[in-house]
Amino acid sequence: MRILEIASEAVPFAKTGGLADVAGALPEALARLGCETTLVVPAYREALAKSLAIEPTDMVFDVPIGTRLLPARILRARLPDARAEVYLVANDHCFDRPTLYGGARDYADNAERFIFFSRAALELACRLGRRFDVIHCHDWQTGLVPAYRRLMFGDHAAVAAARTVMTVHNMAYQGLFWHWDMLLTGLDWKHFNWQEMEFHGQLNLLKTGIVFADAVTTVSPTYAREIQTAPGGCGLEGVLASRGDVLTGIVNGIDTTLWDPAADRHIPRPYSAADVDLGKYAARVALAARLGHPAPDARPLVAFVGRLVAQKGVDLLVEVMGRMAGTGRAHFMILGTGDPAVEEGLARVAAAFPGTVDLVIGFDEGLAHLVQAAADITLVPSVFEPCGLTQLYAFRYGAIPVVRSTGGLIDTVVDATPETIADGTATGFRFDACTAIALERALERALDAHADPEPWRALVRRVMRQDWSWDASGREYLRLFQRILAAPPAVVA
């Protein structure tokens, strides 16, 4: 099967969050399952600045964007050991910028940038001299692709028979732009209606993808249910429910090569379930040194790694740290970047409890690995969470997750209750209410459990031995692709 994956970020080229982890690993997983997989990503400044094997090709073409033509230069990455083929779409005006999507504010021309990218990816597909079976799109940045395939590229042999799959990683980001950006798409105004591309007077690129794709997926079964009702659907619950027959949830996997405590260049001493205590101690020493402490703190280390935005429940965390840091029960370590107001709130708590709350503002891949290796407990107190990868990385590095019961966190973490502890299925601690007190109680439960070394060690070893690799999820995507190829293409209302 020939699969074209199109994503706005992918490891190792560029990353702001979990989408990059998925878009980097899934094409490889599909290739391992015997698919011929091609990934297309933008050639951001970040990607070109890394010393990756990226080389020019002779493919250069113009992409019509409104009344202008924007040139696309196609580059090709040849990463060692990669099975999937990777192309990057270069255009300095669009992608030679300091960040992927903007800073505190999004770039004003993000519609143009990703309309260009979506159309260029399909133009590229038509120049590769083969026929694709499935075109797999991720998030609003590629939402136009299913519409383009159907309305503009339907006659091109390379994609004429291809089915499109739209994967939603987060309903909170829909690619909403003013209606005049419709002109940039080159599509007829007749599609700017409430059943297709329009949403409350604006152009909605994610809705476009959901409406025009042959199948829609999201990144966990629970989130697939949550988004078909308010507030999970963020206004698109009706559209999603109307596509309920083709909407499924497939839990993400993790790249077990990049995230492997037994072979991780970001941690000082590799470890496995058998010698986790030694590995964690070495990571604690290295982390303490990195943070300027003379020695590691003997108290349990409670960590948070993530985007500092409302979704991640950071305000609960600020409140709980404010109350718990004074009790001396735990040491907190926060790594993240995001909303300046959220960053300031955290900075105030860190300043109030030096030696108990460490805060690093910034995006640091290596430090994320070191923190997971050093941590005893990893917090994921999200308000909503489509899948979440940090809890899966926490498992692999022997940190026990404390998570809110929402979305993919429900599907991946089994709460420690007397029953699940007795039958050996517990993998973490969950709380239901989106309140600081609920988080605090769950964290207290985890810290109580940590105080009993033998059962805790058994829990740590067990979570480390779970298999969250892409094998199972990759197979699920493949089954979905086979199913939609066997069925007639979906018809848009």
**Binding of residue 405 to ligand ADP (CB under 6 A):** no
Q: Which does 364 bind (CB under 5 to 8 A by kind): ligand ADP, ligand GLC, none?
A: ligand ADP
Q: From the CB of 434, what's the least distance to ligand GLC, in Å?
A: 16
The answer to the question of residue 463 lying near ligand GLC (CB under 6 A) is: no
Taking Cα atoms as reference points, which of 60, 177, 58 lies closest to residue 108?
Answer: 177
Q: Verify binding: residue 41, ligand GLC, rule CB under 6 A.
A: no
Q: Alpha helices, DSSP H only, in 375-492?
A: 390-396, 407-412, 418-422, 436-450, 453-464, 470-486
- Given a contact cutoff of 8 angstroms between Cβ atoms, the answer to whether 162 and 149 are in contact is yes
Q: Would you count residue 474 as binding ligand GLC (CB under 6 A)?
A: no
- 18 part of the interface to ligand GLC, by CB under 6 A: yes
The site map against ligand GLC for 56-85 (x = CB under 6 A) is ------------------------------
For residues 445 and 449, give the distance between their C-alpha atoms in angstroms, rounded to a whole number. Answer: 6
SS3 469: strand
Residue 263 φ/ψ, nearest 5 degrees: -155, 55
Angle 61-66-187 (CA atoms, 0-180°, nearest 5)? 95
The two structure tokens encoding residue 218: 């999201």
Task: Check binding of 40 to ligand GLC (CB under 6 A).
Answer: no
Which two structure tokens, joined as six digits, stand for 103? 């800073």
Cα 462 to Cα 396: distance, rounded to the nearest angstrom: 10
Q: Contact between 167 and ligand ADP (CB under 6 A)?
A: no
Bridge-based pairing of strands 134-138 and 202-204 is: unpaired
Q: How far is the CB of 357 from ligand GLC (least distance, A)?
A: 25
The residues in 242-301 that bind ligand ADP, with binding defined as CB under 6 A, are none
Q: Tell me which of 296, 306, 313, 428 binds ligand ADP, using CB under 6 A.
A: 306
Distance of CA 74 to the CA centre of its chain: 25
| Token pair listed for 19 | 């989408």
Q: Which does 390 bind (CB under 5 to 8 A by kind): ligand ADP, ligand GLC, none?
A: ligand ADP
In sequence order, what are the residues at sequence separation of 6 or more whose Cβ sits closer than 8 angstroms to the Cβ of residue 479? none
Single-letter amino acid, residue 322: G
Among 306, 386, 398, 474, contact with ligand GLC (rule: CB under 6 A): 386
Quote the distance between the C-alpha of residue 229 and its chain's center.
22
CA-to-CA distance for 469 and 293, rounded, in angstroms? 35
Cβ neighbours of residue 284 closer than 8 Å, sequence gap 6 or more: 296, 297, 301, 374
CA distance 257 to 174: 32
Nearer to ligand ADP, 109 or 364 (CB): 364
Q: Identify the helix (H) or strand (E) that includes residue 76.
A: strand 68-77
Q: Is 342 in the site for ligand GLC (CB under 6 A)?
A: no
Closer residue to ligand ADP, CB minimum distance, 368 or 439: 368
Nearer to ligand GLC, 282 or 402 (CB): 402
Site for ligand GLC in 210-249 (CB under 6 A): 219
Q: Which partner from the list ligand GLC, ligand ADP, none does 123 bind, CB cut-off 5 to 8 Å by kind?
A: none
The amino acid at residue 10 is A
CB 55 within 8 A of CB 76: yes
Q: Site for ligand ADP (CB under 6 A): which residue of 237, 297, 339, 364?
A: 364
17 touches ligand GLC (CB under 6 A): yes
- Binders of ligand GLC among 245-284, rule CB under 6 A? 252
In the bound complex, which residue of the shown chain has the CB atom lying closest to ligand GLC? 18
Residue nearer to ligand ADP on the CB measure, 208 or 382: 382
Q: Which stretch binds ligand ADP (CB under 6 A): 17-25, 52-60, 158-166, 209-217?
A: 17-25
374 binds ligand ADP per the rule CB under 6 A: no
Q: Which one, 198 or 411, has the nearer CB to ligand GLC? A: 411
Q: Is 383 in the site for ligand ADP (CB under 6 A)?
A: no
Considering only residues 400 through 459, tell me which ones interact with ligand GLC, judged by CB under 6 A. 408
- Contact residues toward ligand ADP (CB under 6 A) are 17-19, 21, 305-307, 335-337, 363-365, 368, 387-390
